[in-house]
Amino acid sequence: MSTKNKDLREGQLITFADGVERTVYPLTIRQLRNFMKIAEKLDVDAEQGLTDQDIDNMVEAAGIALQKVDPDLANDPDALEDALDLRCFSGLMAASMGNEVEEAPNE
């Protein structure tokens, strides 16, 4: 028996760089398997900054996290890259892992 439990968890509303608000839920175990394969590749060194490969991995990780939220966006890497900025990517990763999304202060 398959039961959806979206009503059992609130999800977190995140505003993306494209101006669209999406409610993000924690990853399922199946999604987590795929996500962890990509997360292991994320190797951001503060001295080197982000490489093109790092950004590609970030977009792929975001696609996995958004697969059930917005499948059209998740399956279009170019559109996804345009819809992401560092702030919403950080929130997306936190929400996907079941953590609270902390709002960055507006300065």
Q: What is the pLDDT of residue 46?
A: 58
Count of the separate structural domains present in the chain: 1
pLDDT greater than 60 at residue 68: yes
Dig out the tokens for 42 from the structure.
């994320």
Per-residue model confidence as pLDDT tens digits over 13-64: 999 999 999 999 999 999 999 999 998 887 766 567 788 888 999 999 999 9
State how far the Cα of 70 lies from the Cα of 84, in Å rounded to an integer: 13
Residue 31 forms part of a structural domain? yes
Q: At 107, is the pLDDT very low, low, confident or very high (cuts 50, 70, 90)?
A: very low
Residue 38 forms part of a structural domain? yes
Per-residue model confidence as pLDDT tens digits over 85-106: 999 999 999 999 888 777 655 5
Residue 45 forms part of a structural domain? yes
Range of the domain at 39: 23-96
Instruction: State CA 11 to chain mean position distance.
Output: 13
Residue 74 forms part of a structural domain? yes
Dig out the tokens for 71 from the structure.
């499948």
Question: Is 64 strand, coil or helix?
Answer: helix
Residue 5 forms part of a structural domain? no
